[in-house]
Amino acid sequence: MAGQGPWGNDDGETMNEAIERVRPGDPDPSIMAVVLTHNAPASLERCLLSIAAQSAPPQAILIVDNASRVPVTMADLPEGIPPVTLVRSDHNGGPAGGYAIALEQFVDSPYRHAWVIDDDMRPDPECLERLWVVAAKEPASAYVFPVSYQPDGSFGAWPSWCGFLVAREIIEQVGVPMAELFWWAEDTEYLQWRIPQAGYPMRIVADAIVRHDAIRQNGAVPVWKYYYEARNMLYVHLYVKKKVGYYPRNIVKLFGRAILREPEGRGQRVQAMMRGLADGARGRLGTQFPIESLQERQTS
């Protein structure tokens, strides 16, 4: 692990000393922002500056570099942000694997709450403070989400890596995301299903806002995404939720998107989906289909 000392500082203090420093007597929040990044230096900088600009900023930041082509270093980070611990994964585990590493690292830290946020999210200045107002009512079971504004002007609250606040007690109880899912439905399995099933319903804070830049959405959807979407969607319904639910509608929509909306490579996409469905039915997870690393697009 790289960083400013074992718990985000320079003086080499022990975990117990750090606990006493960040939560004296336990009445105040001790929050670590947990940021996952991959091939997005400009977006990461915007995210970190937004975190630093909070009216009530977190006490620390954990950054997990998900095997970016150019590794993130401490020298790359903007000045004036909370103390940082930087961890680099030796492979791109997608959001599933990346957040599994990130939340494992968080649980090993002294902080009580994780503010979990993707690198292409920009929280409004009062976002964390407003989340904490709700979380503080029941801090040991805090599981609260902001409202996300999308580039197309739509907004809503989705169970995704969009800047939600979660108590460490929840992660210690339910574990971390399924790294084997790699991409797609890992947030559904973990945030929408596993945590609520453990007795922690998602609470929405309507005046806590994040802006989603969606810097990896640009042009046609890569073939590999169709494989993982088809596979993981089926796996979650068969092995996790164990019910049909909206699966028939969703898989029809996915085939329709591959055939009707993509201008080229329809056959490849359909083949990838059929392979994904076969693997999902057998419970064959992991990175079974080759991926291409995505690059951030420039925002205006």
d(CA 295, CA 257): 23
Amino acid 227: pLDDT: 96
Amino acid 5: pLDDT: 33
pLDDT at 91 over 80: yes
The CATH class given to the 2-212 domain equals alpha beta
Spatial contact of 142 and 165, defined as CB atoms under 8 Å apart = yes
Where does the pLDDT of residue 11 fall: very low under 50, low under 70, confident under 90, or very high at 90 and above? very low
Q: Spell out the domain ranges in the chain.
A: 2-212, 223-282
Query: How far is Cα 5 from Cα 92, in angstroms, rounded to an integer?
Result: 25
Percent of the chain topping pLDDT 70 = 87
Contact between 171 and 109 (Cβ < 8 Å): no
Name, in order, each residue with C-beta under 8 angstroms of 28's C-beta and a sequence gap of 6 or more: none
What are the φ and ψ backbone dihedral angles of 62, each rounded to 5 degrees?
A: -110, 125
pLDDT digits (tens, 9 = 90+) for 117-154: 999 999 999 999 999 999 999 999 999 999 999 888 88
Interval 195-252: pLDDT, tens:
999 999 999 999 999 999 977 766 678 899 999 999 999 999 999 999 888 888 889 9
Residue 296: band (very low, low, confident or very high) from pLDDT cuts 50, 70, 90: low
The pLDDT mean for the chain works out to: 88
Residues 167-178 as b/e (b if ≥16 CB within 10 A, e otherwise) read: bbebbeebebbb
Q: How many angstroms separate the CA atoms of 198 and 211, rounded?
A: 29
pLDDT at 152: 84
* Whole-prediction pTM: 0.87
pLDDT at 299 over 80: no
**pLDDT recorded at residue 14:** 42
User: Between the CA of residue 158 and those of 84, 146, 150, 198, what are the distances in Å?
Assistant: 27, 9, 11, 19
The answer to whether 56 and 130 are in contact (CB under 8 A) is no
93-102, 146-155, 162-171 — which is least confidently predicted? 146-155
